[in-house]
């Protein structure tokens, strides 16, 4: 039997509605669990084997959907955020009361998304797939979330990570600054609270812009203060954008997508420039070495005649000298070294291109013997 692609808990006091959602999700490989109210949902969500996702009605007896959502996520948070985040289920509200106030309550409670009744089969499938199988096209992008509220960070991480982005967390500006210093090339976008202990968002932003010179990294502020003077200070510090709390999840993700796409373009441009500089440096080095080799060949060609003359005269000295004469021994040594020089210049004269070989484990030098054989044969 194939392994299910995810466990989904469907919570609704209507048996008919539970069956409708079950018939949509079960055929495509999801294992479906059911609960008819918030109390049952809470028990099943906090079990040792929790569901990956919960579809949750709002209006139910015993415990409504908003209360159940808050209770489920807060209990996971109180147990241990760092240990339980991977196990914590995503929550999607499926409700006929899809209005601004309902969405505000739902997202504040920690919901991942909303589906309005009546719905189309494709809408349910697309929402579940997007959450449980994050988009791959933006993998590799890293978002730094800075907030002194663990619950606020937790909600942000849940919503951001399901988009396929990597999230790093910091509890305050000082901790964030330390992370940015260490991971400067890795951070693509920063989301920061405004008011925090140790170092607030404005000081963090100013330091990143002025000291670290990270002018192209988007910095988005989250603030509950909509005062124009305060917002002016935020932008003077170098902010890219801001959101006023409470905000809708869709608004946050829409802003992030815009800035992430810009960051991706900046990264691609930076990588292209780096590759062009590397290629240009390599080309210039090849041209320089080729020039050295060609000059060496020309010099050796000019040296061949004097070397042959010295070799010939030394040979005459050896022939006429007495074998017992010490000068004959010196003449033999001179002849051996001159012949050695002749072989070296002959090799260099035949060099038309250069090859290199490893030298002392750190650098490379011209390989005369290899270069004399001609250019490398390409496979």
Q: What angle do CA 331, 336, 337 make, to 5 degrees?
A: 100
What is the pLDDT, as a whole number, of residue 134? 58
214 is written with which tokens?
């990270």
Its pTM stands at: 0.48
Question: CA nearest 40: which of 25, 23, 62, 59?
Answer: 62
How far, in Å, CA of 67 to CA of 65, rounded? 5
pLDDT at 247 over 60: yes
Reduce the DSSP state of residue 142 to 3 states and report it.
Answer: strand
For 3, what's the count of Cα atoms within 13 Å in the CB-facing half-sphere? 2
pLDDT at 374 over 60: no
Kindly tell me the burial class for residue 277, based on how many C-beta atoms sit within 10 Å of its own C-beta (0-12, 13-18, 19 or more): exposed
What is the pLDDT, as a whole number, of residue 363? 62
* CB 172 within 8 Å of CB 196: yes
User: Whole-number mean pLDDT of the chain?
Assistant: 80
Instruction: Give Cα 4 to chain centroid, integer Å.
Output: 30
Among 9-23, 80-94, 151-165, 254-268, which is the least confidently predicted range?
80-94
Q: What angle do CA 296, 298, 301 make, to 5 degrees?
A: 110
How far, in Å, CA of 14 to CA of 129, rounded? 24
285 is written with which tokens?
């080095």
What is the pLDDT, as a whole number, of residue 353? 57
Q: Is the domain defined by 276-372 classed in CATH 1.10.287?
A: yes
**DSSP state for residue 2 in the 8-state scheme:** P
What is the pLDDT, as a whole number, of residue 275? 86
Which CATH code for domain 1-133?
Answer: 3.40.50.2300
What is the pLDDT, as a whole number, of residue 83? 36
Class of domain 138-247: alpha beta
Kindly tell me the burial class for residue 34, based on how many C-beta atoms sit within 10 Å of its own C-beta (0-12, 13-18, 19 or more): middle
What is the pLDDT, as a whole number, of residue 1? 38
pLDDT digits (tens, 9 = 90+) for 257-292: 778 777 777 777 777 888 888 888 888 877 777 777
276-372 has the same fold as 138-247 = no
Q: Which residues contact 258 (CB under 8 A, 6 or more apart)?
A: none
Domain ranges, ordered by start, for the chain: 1-133, 138-247, 276-372
Distances 330 to 304, 306, 327, 339 between C-alpha atoms, Å: 22, 19, 5, 14
């Amino acid at each position: 039997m194939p392994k299910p692609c995810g466990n989904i808990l469907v919570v609704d006091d209507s048996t008919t509605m539970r069956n409708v959602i079950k018939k949509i999700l079960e055929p495509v490989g999801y294992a479906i669990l059911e609960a008819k109210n918030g109390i049952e949902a809470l028990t099943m969500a906090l079990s040792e084997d929790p569901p990956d996702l919960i579809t949750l009605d709002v209006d139910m007896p015993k415990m409504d959907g908003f209360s159940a959502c808050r209770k489920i996520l807060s209990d996971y948070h109180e147990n241990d955020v760092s240990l339980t985040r991977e196990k914590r289920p995503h929550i999607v509200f499926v409700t006929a009361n899809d209005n601004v106030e309902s969405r505000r309550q739902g997202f504040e409670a920690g919901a991942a998304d909303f589906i309005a009744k009546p719905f189309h089969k494709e809408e349910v499938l697309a929402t579940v797939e997007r959450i449980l199988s994050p988009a791959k096209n933006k993998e590799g992008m890293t978002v730094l979330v800075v907030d002194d509220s663990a619950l606020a960070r937790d909600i942000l991480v849940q919503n951001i990570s399901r988009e396929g982005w990597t999230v790093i967390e910091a509890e305050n500006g000082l901790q964030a600054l330390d992370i940015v210093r260490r991971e400067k090339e890795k951070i693509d976008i920063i989301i920061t609270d405004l008011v925090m202990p140790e170092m607030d968002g404005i000081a963090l932003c100013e330091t990143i812009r002025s000291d670290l010179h990270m002018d192209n990294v988007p910095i988005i502020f989250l603030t509950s203060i909509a005062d124009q003077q305060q917002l002016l200070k935020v932008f003077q510090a170098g902010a890219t954008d801001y959101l006023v709390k409470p905000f809708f999840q869709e608004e946050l993700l829409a802003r992030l997508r815009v800035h992430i796409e810009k960051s991706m373009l900046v990264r691609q441009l930076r990588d292209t420039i780096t590759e062009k500089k590397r290629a240009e440096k390599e080309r210039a080095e090849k041209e320089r070495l080729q020039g050295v080799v060609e000059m060496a060949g020309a010099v050796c060609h000019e040296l061949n005649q004097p070397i042959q003359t010295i070799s010939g005269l030394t040979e005459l000295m050896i022939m006429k000298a007495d074998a017992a004469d010490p000068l004959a021994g010196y003449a033999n040594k001179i002849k051996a070294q001159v012949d050695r020089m002749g072989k070296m210049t002959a090799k260099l004269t035949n060099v038309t291109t250069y090859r290199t070989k490893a030298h002392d484990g750190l650098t490379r030098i011209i390989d005369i013997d290899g270069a004399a054989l001609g250019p490398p044969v390409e496979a």
